[in-house]
Amino acid sequence: MFLRILLLTAAILAVGVTPVLAQDDPPKAEVENEPEVQIDITKEKTDGIQIAESAIIVYSGLRGRLGLDQVRKTTVEIGKTTYFQPDGSKRNADYTMRIIRGESFGEEKIRLDQRFPNAEYAMVFDGGKVFGVISNTVFSPRDDAVREFNSRIVHSIDALLRYKENESEVELKESTKKMGVDYYVVVMTDKDGRETTYFVSKKYLRVMILEYEADGVEYQRRFYDHNYAQGTLVPYRTVLKADGKVIEETDIATVTFGQQVEESWFVFNEA
């Protein structure tokens, strides 16, 4: 850990930045090196690609795109999610998410297991479709459940960090300030036309907020408690709002990259 901090400090000093360990911190939260794209992360950004590439540098712990891919070949994430129901009640779930990284999202394999007090099931994305699993039996999820699961993938920080692999376009909009924090505003449009707006802290080049619209509903996801896991930056807490109301809170307990994840987690025969 000391060595990583020392290297990070040296790299920052090399580009003329004074290292700051504090986060942008409005209430409870707001707080690359890519050989083919030379980015000075200390300078004011003038286009969306510069911001996306700078974010890759930050989230990879200065490893760049290839380094991020190498560390995150697989992911095993364990945590808790609270879902807020329209009637005011709450549903709590323990979850485990397993990912085998693909060259693009179309080749990704993702499995999200959720354990509620009275039910347990999994949602699986195998690069071609989304299906559900209960007790090793495949079922077809409701359309809204599929949309929600897909939204976790296409409207995410990782989607911005992998804009190039996914053939997405990024465009810089007018900067803004929220709760005292200055943000770059970047709109990413994927090759299917789905848009995500990212609010990137000018001070730390971290994504603090993202927004998107689906089925007439305005969604906003905020990211908190950034910390390093195996040298890459991870927000350990997220809050999702729909039309201004909190509908989901997620807290990561542990996240591990690079351990073996068997293909069998993602392969099932239709019932």
pLDDT tens digit sequence for 145-167: 999 999 999 999 999 999 999 99
Q: Would you state the structure tokens that stand for residue 89, as one six-digit string?
A: 């009640």
Q: Identify the band that residue 251 occupies on the pLDDT scale cut at 50, 70 and 90.
A: very high
Does the structure show a pLDDT above 90 at 4? no
Q: Identify the band that residue 12 occupies on the pLDDT scale cut at 50, 70 and 90.
A: very low
* Residues 221-236: b if buried by 16+ CB within 10 A, e if exposed: bbbbebeebebbbbbb
188 CB-near residues (< 8 Å, 6+ apart): 48, 52, 159, 160, 163, 168, 169, 170, 171, 195, 196, 197, 198
- Between 141 and 22, residue with greater pLDDT: 141
| Residues forming a β-bridge with 130 | 125
Domain range annotation of the chain: 30-254
Q: Does domain 30-254 have CATH number 2.50.20.10?
A: yes
Give the pLDDT of residue 154.
95
Give the pLDDT of residue 33.
37
Does the structure show a pLDDT above 70 at 227? yes
Ranking 28-32, 37-41, 202-206, 229-233 by mean pLDDT, the lowest is 28-32
Report the distance separating Cα 142 and Cα 149, nearest Å. Answer: 11
Give the pLDDT of residue 269.
63
Ranking 18-32, 57-71, 238-252 by mean pLDDT, the lowest is 18-32
| Residues forming a β-bridge with 25 | none
CB 237 within 8 A of CB 225: yes
Does the structure show a pLDDT above 80 at 21? no
